[in-house]
Amino acid sequence: MKTEKEKMLSGELYMASDDILSNERLHARVMLKSLNDSLPDESEKRAGVLMELMGKIGKNFHIEPPFYCDYGYNIEAGDDVFFNFNCVILDVCSVKIGNRVLCGPNVQIYTGTHPIDAQSRGTLIEYAKPISIGDDVWIGGSAVICPGVTIGARSIIGAGSVVTKDVPEDVLAAGNPCRVIRKLV
- DSSP for 15-68 reads ETT-HHHHHHHHHHHHHHHHHHTS-TT-HHHHHHHHHHHSSEE-TT-EEPSPEE
**Mean pLDDT confidence for 46-55:** 96
Number of structural domains (the chain) is: 1
Domain with 136 in it: 4-183
Segment 55-110, tens digit of pLDDT:
999 999 999 999 999 999 999 999 999 999 999 999 999 999 999 999 999 999 99
> Which listed residue (27, 114, 129, 154) is catalytic?
114
Helix 43-53 / helix 19-36 crossing angle, nearest 10 deg: 170
Let me know if 114 is a catalytic residue. Answer: yes
User: Which pLDDT score is estimated for 185?
Assistant: 86
User: Which pLDDT score is estimated for 27?
Assistant: 98
Looking up residue 48, the CATH number of its domain turns out to be 2.160.10.10
pTM of this prediction?
0.96
Phi-psi region of 181 (alpha: psi -120 to 50; beta: other; left: phi over 0): alpha
For residue 164, which amino acid is it?
T
* Dihedral over Cα of 137, 178, 7, 114: its sign: positive
